[in-house]
Amino acid sequence: MQTLLPILYLLAAAGFILAIKWMNSPVTARRGVVAGEIGMLLAVVGTLLRFEVVSYEWIFIAFFIGSAIGVPIAYYMPMTAVPQRTAFSHACGALASALIGTAEYYRQLPHGVVMVALVMETLLGYLTFTASLMAFGKLQEILPTRPLTYPGQNIVNLGIFSLAVAAGVALIFAPEQTWLFPIFTLLALVFGVLLIVPIGGADMPTVIALLNSYAGLSASAMGFALDNKLLIVAGALDGSSGFILAVIMCRAMNRSFSNVLFGAFGTIQKSAKETTERPVRSASPEEAAEILDSSRSVVIVPGYGMAVAQAQHKLRELSDLLTKRGIEVRFAIHPVAGRMPGHMNVLLAEANVPYDQLVEMDDINSEFPRTDVALVIGANDVVNPAARLDKSSPIAGMPILNVYEAHTVMVIKRSMSPGFAGIDNDLYYMSKTLMLFGDAKSFVTNIVKELNAAVPVSA
């Protein structure tokens, strides 16, 4: 047993590392998922063997309850709700970590390094639990997606966090003061709520990544508290990858961490341009089909509106139809399109859109001036030219897809309402832009019908 356990843990750690490595590419993503699953299985088996469990009764009960919840979620959760499910998973993982830390505290009242790790584990676990539930509520629109702010909010938040840290430090030096632990727990839970309240929906991709990092760090601290090396490795991988992803997201939005956490980004912005009615040009499915049919190159820009309408399969059908007509079709992917990193990639992969048609922002931007038609499906802030052309805009400097440089722009959208950033989009009012008002799936379906009714494609 002494020889087998290190081997199982080593193989499990290798599985986690390979999972992260392989999930960097759509081509190897499935392999990465399998590697992660095998790694987790080995980790669970090794842990059970390590503690020489006498009775497996409660373990099997927990296994069946977890399976009864997890399997239906995996099968029936729509792809549009994956961000919410991710936030909920963070909440469950963080709560598990925090509860284990709480149980260990009352079981042995540890001292020294173990108590330091336990305080970090429970602090991060509890604040991540409530923060993730708040993120879930905002993503599901149970709670307002706009930032909720009040004067002195940052001072209040910092004060509560400081009190929680002070209580944790006091417990490190005097763990026998058990009356202080519930106060410490309550402060961490409250801070998690207040951390997310002033953050708008536009920043949810970064928030999801940060919460992933917090949950991982909590698990890593739990590894130190329980003297479990695999937990330390797995938590560190989760925490570091989540943090790196959050950095990438911030760079994609030209934002800093402090601006994301304390900037209240997403409040409705008013400008002089909004004080008067601005004319827009609209088009019917027949007109849109005619424009697409006469083009040579088309770039499709998906956004959260595509996810809501579940239009990815119809977009694949449209793409195939245009390709058969000799028209070059590509999909432009912005790093923060949707509500979590890689959201658009996952949806398009579900519709079997070829990987080589998915082009990242940095690679596609130089192609827009040579693009006949840019078809925007439910994207908003990531195509707003104000980020480049209006230095006074709240999103000034944010990297965007240069859709406005295409010869013709068509935008499928239900209405003229702003995106999560709460900023009016100047793209909609440009002379080259045609607004295609309606549900994305229905509108694309009608375009496909019109194209099929036109001159048949030669064999």
Point out the residues that are catalytic.
381
Structural contact between residues 212 and 90, judged by C-beta atoms closer than 8 angstroms: yes
**Quick one: tokens of 186?**
């309550």
As to burial, measured by CB atoms within 10 angstroms (0-12 exposed, 13-18 middle, 19+ buried), residue 421 is buried
Number of other CB atoms surrounding residue 55 within 10 Å: 7
Of 358, 371, 353, nearest to 291 by C-alpha is: 371
Could you tell me if 195 and 178 are in contact, meaning their C-beta atoms sit under 8 angstroms apart? no
Distance between CA atoms of residues 153 and 282, nearest Å: 43
Q: Which 8-state DSSP code applies to residue 282?
A: B
- Say what angle helices 204-226 and 229-252 make with each other, to 10 degrees: 160
The amino acid that residue 406 corresponds to is A
SS3 of 360, please?
Answer: strand
Q: What is the dihedral of CA 27, 30, 33, 39, to 10 degrees?
A: -90
Which pair of structure tokens corresponds to residue 116? 């330091």
- 117 is written with which tokens? 């790790």
DSSP 105-137: HHHH---HHHHHHHHHHHHHHHHHHHHHHHHHH
Distance CA 453, CA 394 (A): 45
Structure tokens at 320: 């195939």
What one-character DSSP code corresponds to residue 401? -
Which residue(s) pair with 359 in the sheet?
A: 332
Strands (E), 345-422: 358-360, 373-377, 408-413
In the block, tokens 């009040």 appear at 150
* Contact of 410 with 288, CB cutoff 8 Å: yes
Quote the distance between the C-alpha of residue 375 and its chain's center: 24
